[in-house]
């Protein structure tokens, strides 16, 4: 049942410092996600004749790592604690960043894919533990709103990631006369060193964050006395229609988010005739809008049901997608930017609604299923890349349109459940 919390406090005061540290993790994975998005175009230029579909396999490797490590992340939290899972996730994240250095020395696309796979595996474990950890740091009535608040720090990382991508990577790329990235054979090593520099810097900071979390006293949420019943719990979870539908909706949401943001660097240069570096300026505004809108939606949750807001956001994102497809030009670009405002609500709200009514054990295991749904980014992004190769970038945005329809269907299902309870 959706709760509109008005008087219940958002957070237990004794968990304030823990909440701040955990919220910072949302920022760190936001940086990683948005540093990667523009690199499809870079790797396409660096490694010769890669098609858009082939270059987008860097995103497949990234989000496939999320899929593969979600269950191990859940096992860590079930057997030990959420804090242990957070530390393991941060550690793998740092290792993945550092692996990009030997990948540069080897100059093979496959090794970059492996590095990003390791990096994203860490992010998967981190998200699998940090999201439900936030949910249990207060009353159940404010769990979804608390998660939205914590997720509000994610766009700060997202904007920072785009800033790093634009000024430390894209602005330094060699361009041809038409403003496209053009990498000569004697420039490959230099270009790859430019690509990995931000990641190596992030790895150094992550080590400091890891130490801070390791030494700070934080609530230990675990159940060491019970055996791990992973598959039995999953079997129970997928008998719950709400949870199953939430996983499906999350799969399509992540696919929509990654495709919308990844191919911004293809759509905007084509429609406004600007360089990929200049296109990132528009993308930065999209992410700022994403962050501001998440704060706005968090406030709106005081007065409106989360399912009502999710349905509204899905409809608006779908309408803007139609403008991207059929109108184009500056209007299409602004529509593409506007989609981010309505996507801002979706991930934490679907996560919170999908976790509604679960037992403590089911919440731990169920979080991995909702994170595994990030596989949508691995499968849907290359699919849209293939569509770009075949029918062009504008019509490829039919893919996220379909995703928003699925998300809207889940929101409508939740809304109908609320009406039945009310009757």
> Mean per-residue pLDDT for 66-82?
81
pTM (2 d.p.):
0.76
Burial of 319 (0-12, 13-18, 19+ CB in 10 A): middle
What residue segments make up the domains of the chain, in order of their start? 13-219+230-422
Name the average pLDDT for the chain.
Answer: 85
pLDDT digits (tens, 9 = 90+) for 330-340: 999 999 999 99
Q: Which of 366, 314, 321, 303 is nearest to 345 (CA)?
A: 314
Q: At what angle do helices 57-79 and 230-237 cross, to 10 degrees?
A: 110
The SS3 assignment for 181 reads strand
- 314-360 pLDDT tens trace: 999 999 999 999 999 999 999 999 999 999 999 889 988 988 877 77
Would you place residue 236 in the very low, low, confident or very high pLDDT band (cuts 50, 70, 90)?
confident
At 229, is the pLDDT very low, low, confident or very high (cuts 50, 70, 90)? Answer: low
Q: Give me the architecture of the 13-219+230-422 domain, per CATH.
A: Up-down Bundle (1.20)
226 has a pLDDT exceeding 70? no
Spatial separation of the C-alpha atoms in residues 278 and 290, rounded to whole Å: 19
Mean pLDDT in residue range 240-258 = 93
């Amino acid at each position: 049942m959706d709760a509109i919390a008005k008087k219940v406090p958002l957070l237990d005061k004794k968990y304030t410092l823990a909440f701040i540290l955990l919220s910072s993790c949302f920022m760190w994975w936001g940086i990683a996600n948005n540093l990667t998005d523009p690199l499809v175009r870079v790797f396409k230029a660096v490694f010769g004749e890669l098609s858009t579909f082939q270059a987008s396999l860097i995103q497949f490797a990234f989000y496939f790592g999320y899929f593969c490590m979600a269950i191990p992340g859940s096992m860590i939290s079930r057997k030990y604690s959420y804090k242990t899972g957070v530390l393991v996730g941060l550690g793998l994240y740092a290792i993945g960043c550092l692996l990009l250095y030997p990948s540069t020395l080897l100059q093979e696309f496959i090794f970059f894919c492996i590095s990003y796979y390791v990096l994203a595996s860490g992010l998967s474990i981190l998200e699998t533990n940090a999201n439900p950890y936030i949910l249990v740091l207060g009353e159940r009535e404010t769990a979804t709103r608390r998660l939205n608040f914590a997720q509000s720090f994610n766009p700060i990382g997202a904007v920072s990631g785009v800033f790093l991508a634009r000024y430390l990577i894209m602005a330094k790329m060699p361009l041809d006369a038409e403003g496209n990235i053009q990498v000569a054979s004697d420039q490959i090593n230099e270009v790859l060193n430019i690509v990995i520099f931000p990641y190596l810097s992030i790895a150094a900071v992550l080590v400091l964050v890891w130490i801070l979390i390791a030494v700070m006293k934080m609530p230990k949420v675990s159940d060491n006395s019970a055996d791990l019943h992973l598959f039995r719990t999953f079997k129970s979870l997928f008998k719950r229609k709400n949870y199953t539908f939430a996983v499906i909706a999350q799969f399509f949401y992540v696919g929509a988010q990654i495709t919308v943001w990844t191919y911004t660097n293809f759509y905007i240069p084509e429609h406004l005739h600007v360089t990929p570096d200049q296109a990132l300026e528009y993308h930065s505004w999209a992410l700022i809008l994403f962050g501001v809108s998440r704060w706005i939606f968090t406030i709106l949750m005081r007065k409106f049901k989360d399912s009502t807001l999710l349905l509204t956001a899905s409809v608006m994102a779908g309408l803007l997608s139609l403008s991207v497809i059929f109108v184009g030009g500056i209007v299409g670009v602004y529509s593409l930017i506007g989609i981010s405002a309505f996507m801002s609500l979706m991930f934490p709200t679907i996560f919170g609604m999908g976790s509604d009514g679960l037992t403590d054990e089911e919440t731990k295991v169920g979080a991995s299923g909702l994170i595994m749904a990030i596989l949508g980014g691995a499968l849907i992004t290359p699919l849209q890349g293939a569509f770009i190769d075949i029918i062009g970038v504008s019509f490829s945005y039919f893919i996220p349109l379909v995703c928003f329809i699925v998300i809207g269907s889940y929101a409508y299902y939740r809304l109908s459940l609320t009406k039945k309870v009310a009757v």
